[in-house]
Amino acid sequence: MSSLTAHSKLYDWQLRHGIPCFALMTLAFVVFGLLSLDLVKLVLANAGFLWHAGWHGLMAGGFAQLLELGLSAAAAIASYLVFKLCEHVMVDRLAHK
């Protein structure tokens, strides 16, 4: 069983390179913000359209749009996870210096 204190290569690289880690954290924050902006409102509007239009709404592209919104949500979550990893590295870096 592996130790919980073992770090990944990415974590170790980020720990050694503070400025690129901070830049990546900033980029991930901006991407998360852009992807998640109005995402809930768009999903609710799409779900309402599908609910009222039924099968015709699915055929008119409502389902494809719902899938695209799901992919946007997944990309936003991935960006958030990158942000949190960088944040964790930066906090460790500051705490141990």
Residue 1 placed within a domain: no
Residue 23 placed within a domain: yes
| pLDDT (tens place) for every residue of the chain, 97 residues total | 455 567 788 888 888 888 999 999 999 999 999 999 888 898 888 889 888 888 888 788 888 888 999 999 999 999 999 999 999 999 988 888 7
Residue 69 placed within a domain: yes
Residue 56 placed within a domain: yes
Cα 18 from chain centre: 21
Residue 91 placed within a domain: yes
Could you tell me the two tokens for 4? 């919980």
Residue 38 placed within a domain: yes
Domain that holds residue 80: 10-95
Q: Are 89 and 14 a contacting pair, CB within 8 Å?
A: yes
Residue 4 placed within a domain: no
pTM of the entire predicted model: 0.78
Structurally, how many domains does the chain consist of? 1
